[in-house]
Amino acid sequence: MIKILFIMQIILAVVLTIVILLQKSSSIGLGAYSGSNESLFGAKGPQGFLAKVTFFLIIAFVLNTILLGYLYNKTYNKSVVDEVKIEQKATIPPPPPPVDTQSVPQAPTAK
């Protein structure tokens, strides 16, 4: 299910980008290369149609993102740290034997 939603997310992102680029802007954008779409979409041209399609795609994109986040978090809520095994076999070394101060050699004295 997550794979299908992820593929649909990619498709929605690509289609949404194309639809936004086709819309008329102050510099006309890529809509200038689409030919005479005015007769196909009505008197107002493709702007009303593309605005509605953009709105629908944005709603689908946001809902798909929320659903993907919910399902992914529900399915994969384990952390890598949860699977690390901690060994409790740490041994403390025995303390060193006491030092006999009589057998320790003395440092030479400076003259």
Contact at 8 Å (CB) between 29 and 22? yes
* Interval 41-100: pLDDT, tens: 555 555 678 888 899 999 999 999 999 989 888 777 777 777 777 777 767 888 888 777
- The helices-and-strands tally (H runs, E runs) of the chain is 3, 0
pLDDT at residue 37, rounded to an integer: 46
Residue 9 has pLDDT above 70, yes or no: yes
- The pLDDT confidence band at residue 36, using thresholds 50, 70 and 90, is very low
pLDDT at residue 4, rounded to an integer: 92
* Domain definitions of the chain by residue range: 1-17+47-76
DSSP secondary structure letters along 8-51: HHHHHHHHHHHHHHHS--TT-GGGGGG---HHHH-TTTHHHHHH
